Amino acid sequence: VNDRSAVLVRRAFASKSPRIRELLESVVRILDLDANVLLLGESGTGKDFLAELVHRTGRRSGGPFLKIDCANLPPDLFESELFGYEKGAFTDAHDRKTGKIELAQGGTLYFDEVGGLDLHLQAKLLRVFQERRITRLGGNASITLDARIIASSNVDLFEAVRAGTFRSDLYYRLNVMSLTLPPLRERREDIPILARRFLRRAAERYRRPAEDFSAESHSILRSYTWPGNVRELRNIAERAAILSTEPLAGPETLPTERFLSPRDILELAVAERWSLERLEAAYIAEVLRVTRNNRSRAADLLGINRKTLLEKRRKYGLP
């Protein structure tokens, strides 16, 4: 294995967490191989980030990186997008079109959220993964695929296999090498490192004075549960950079009510004379957080129906 790539990978992550370090060792081992990689982890933990890093530092860095959004592509467009077509393959096929799979030749194909594919498309892809050959719609020639395949999922695919919504043969094909990104709350040692990094970058971009968070801000950031993981941290750090007026960004640059316990919120509300509406908004935000955005559970806890919850969320602009 190339030492330079190993250094690049570790530097990109800048992590102190033993779990991330262990994961990066596996990453480094596969950089020069063509094994399929399956990236698992909650939303915002860095699956896209890692997929691009594997591409950039691996043996196919000279080739293209193509991301395929499996959860949002309409099923009827999926096949022609992916496989391309020959002129006359169907009524609107006025010209030949190269599919995304073919465009990834020599590079990396990243299937984002594979759990979102319906069973019919799973069968089509199984053939690609197994035989590494594709045929354009309406065509005869089969083309050999020479690309690395990475897939990601934020749902438990093994569970999906058991539930019958994900093909087991596809799962085992993809699962040659699976890497699970831990949620941010299980690697708290990385919160200050990432927070500072995101803050500095954004401060530079927006020409703001922030260089780091103050000690008090760091302690608030470290104690939060981060349901949105690294993405949420990045958003908050960038917002803090914009609001900063000094080199050390204090708690006033943070959306503090997001980090407070319900009890703290009550105390703050009384001290700052919040309106009942502001208190309600903060409470709903907290309940959504602890239920991990499970709307039915949140509505249950709040003693309102889901429709009312949705209305209030919209009214208060809650995520």
Ligand X SMILES: Nc1ncnc2c1ncn2[C@@H]1O[C@H](COP(=O)(O)OP(=O)(O)OP(=O)(O)O)[C@@H](O)[C@H]1O
Residues that bind ligand X (CB under 6 A): 13, 41, 43-49, 154, 230-231, 234
Compare residues 191 and 282 and give the one whose CB is closer to ligand X.
191
Measure the N-to-C terminal CA separation of the chain; round to a whole number of Å. 43
Compare residues 34 and 48 and give the one whose CB is closer to Mg ion.
48
SS (H, E, C) 81-127: HHHEECCCCCCCCCCCEECHHHHCCCCEEEEECHHHCCHHHHHHHHH
Which residue in the shown chain puts its C-beta closest to Mg ion?
48
Compare residues 28 and 281 and give the one whose CB is closer to ligand X.
28
Least CB distance from residue 197 to ligand X, whole Å?
Answer: 7
Query: Among candidates 214, 98, 119, 197, which has minimal Cα distance to 165?
Result: 119
Beta pairing partners, 135: 142
Report the partner that residue 231 touches, choosing among ligand X, Mg ion, none (CB closer than 5 to 8 A by kind).
Answer: ligand X
Least CB distance from residue 56 to ligand X, whole Å?
Answer: 13
Compare residues 24 and 282 and give the one whose CB is closer to ligand X.
24
- What would you report as the CA-atom Rg of the chain, rounded to the nearest whole angstrom? 23
Q: Is 152 helix (H, G, I), strand (E, B) or coil?
A: strand
Least CB distance from residue 271 to ligand X, whole Å?
Answer: 34
Report the partner that residue 230 touches, choosing among Mg ion, ligand X, none (CB closer than 5 to 8 A by kind).
Answer: ligand X
User: Is residue 52 involved in binding Mg ion (CB under 5 A)?
Assistant: no
Alpha-carbon distance 76 to 317, whole Å?
A: 34
Cβ neighbours of residue 299 under 8 Å, at least 6 residues apart?
305, 306, 308, 309
> In this structure, are residues 135 and 83 in contact, taking their beta carbons and an 8 Å threshold?
yes
Least CB distance from residue 39 to Mg ion, whole Å?
Answer: 9
Contact with Mg ion (CB under 5 A): which of 6, 8, 10, 48?
48
Least CB distance from residue 83 to ligand X, whole Å?
Answer: 24
For residues 18 to 47, the per-residue mask of contacts with Mg ion, x marking binding by CB under 5 A and - elsewhere, is -----------------------------x
